Amino acid sequence: MRRFFSALVVIVVLFMTKPMWEGKMEQLLHSKELEPITSRFDAIKNDPATAEALENAKVQWKQLTLEIKDLMNADVQNQDTAKAEKPDLAKPENQTFSVYNIELGDTKQNVEQTVGAPKRSTENEYGTHWNAYHQNYQNFMMISYDSGGKVNALYTDQDLLSSKTGIKIGSPRDSVREKLGKPMSEMRKGLVFYKIESNGEYDVYHMDNSYVTIFYDKHEQNTVTAIQIIDQKLEQDKNQYYTTPSSSLEKGFEYQLFDLTNAARVEHGLPYLTWDEHVQKTALKHSEDMAENQYFDHTNPKGQSPFDRMHEDDIYFLAAGENLAYGQNSSIFAHEGLMNSLGHRKNILQKDFEYLGVGVAFGDQSQPYYTENFYSK
């Protein structure tokens, strides 16, 4: 630790004196003297004794940087993953399912007496707002309220689910179907029937005057990973598959996907990511480009990769990744689909990433294009 603090002192001194040496170094690096200086350094470096000393210094510096990184990571873990108290879950009183002992029809006042104010409130595809409740993304859930302040939609991907049938987060898909029966294959809205093609990644049930969507994790043996409960009237009032685009819905989808990503990371024992406005603009430009030019690819028509686009926007990183989704009618369905795709899941659960920006744009048929840009520096 003495070596660690000594190095820290050196780093601080170098930083504090930066104005005195930075300009001279800049001049040196751009002067004709660079080549002979480099050549003389190469000659010194070839001396055996000097080479050994340099190699020892490199090893010590590498060890020091690892110690610093470990200490910083420990601080982040201590700050971000302190265990939040889990609620005592009781069986629902009026419906088949409840989330954090909350059911459809409960009042906003009663909800917030229990869990406090929402961390974020953003527009959703139903024309209401998802209110996100959590403690550093633990005990994460999203709740929508009607104009009278009563719960008309619920979502969670954490262990907050209770049911009269014993279904909970982690229950096998076969058990769900055994208890709830055959899921819906289509949904009628007015005179239109919408076919439900989930490829086994989720089931939809019409029950308790609501539509219940149960999501499964393909990479956790097809067990329940999340639930969405939508009041029947709220669902039927949304008479199209896609919602009419707006700037507020765009922002809503962006922040919802960001929060869902962090909730998944924390559920898997990882620190949550920081929203980065700079890389969000990079993500948004790519979504807008895909929507305008009607393509879906990490490489744009100019031949630029995600990393090229980030460099073009002066974003410098040690590691970076990009996730794309297209056509899902909400951030919830986009996120659950990404988690069931191994490469996208790897980005979401990459322990070394620190920052995330999400960009959403709508195509000519109101279909959303989602871009997630992750990086660390």
Split at pLDDT 50, 70, 90, the class of 47 is low
Q: Taking residues 352-358, what's their average pLDDT?
A: 98
Q: Taking residues 12-25, what's their average pLDDT?
A: 44
Tokens of 356: 């995330």
Split at pLDDT 50, 70, 90, the class of 45 is very low
Least confident span in 14-28, 91-105, 175-189, 305-319: 14-28
pLDDT at 52: 60
pLDDT at 26: 42
pLDDT above 50: residue 17:
no
Across the strands, what pairs with 112?
A: none
Q: Taking residues 268-283, what's their average pLDDT?
A: 98
Rounded CA gap, 12 and 309, in Å?
33
Residue-wise pLDDT for 49-96, tens only, equals: 655 655 555 555 555 544 544 545 544 444 445 688 889 999 999 999
Say how many residues make up the chain.
377
Q: How many CB atoms lie within 10 A of CB 290?
A: 22
pLDDT at 105: 98
Rounded CA gap, 308 and 305, in Å?
5
Question: What average pLDDT is seen over the chain?
Answer: 86
Query: Under CATH, which number does the domain 97-237 receive?
Result: 3.40.33.10
Q: Taking residues 255-279, what's their average pLDDT?
A: 98
Least confident span in 61-70, 141-150, 271-280, 318-327: 61-70
Least confident span in 98-107, 175-184, 191-200, 213-222: 191-200
Q: Taking residues 343-367, what's their average pLDDT?
A: 97
pLDDT at 23: 45
Domain ranges of the chain: 1-78, 97-237, 247-376
pLDDT at 78: 41
Q: Which long-range contacts (CB under 8 A, 24 or more apart) does 277-281 make?
A: 277/357, 278/313, 278/315, 278/357, 279/310, 279/313, 279/315, 279/355, 279/356, 279/357, 279/373, 279/375, 280/254, 280/357, 280/358, 280/359, 280/373, 281/313, 281/357, 281/359
Tokens of 250: 């765009």
Which of helix, strand or coil describes residue 154?
A: strand
Q: How many CB atoms lie within 10 A of CB 135?
A: 15
Tokens of 332: 């919830």
* Cα 35 versus chain centre, distance: 47
Q: How many CB atoms lie within 10 A of CB 343?
A: 9
| Residue keyed to tokens 């003389």 | 40
Confirm whether 97-237 and 247-376 share one CATH topology.
yes
pLDDT at 85: 87
Q: Taking residues 135-157, what's their average pLDDT?
A: 98
Q: Taking residues 280-290, what's their average pLDDT?
A: 98
Rounded CA gap, 341 and 218, in Å?
9
What is the 8-class DSSP label of residue 338?
A: H
Burial string for 198-229 (b: 16+ CB within 10 Å, else e) reads beebbbbbeebebbbbbbbbbeeebbbbbbbb
159 touches 224 (CB < 8 A): no
Least confident span in 24-33, 147-156, 307-316, 341-350: 24-33
Domain at 247-376, CATH from 3.40.30.10, 3.40.33.10, 1.10.1040.10, 3.20.10.10:
3.40.33.10
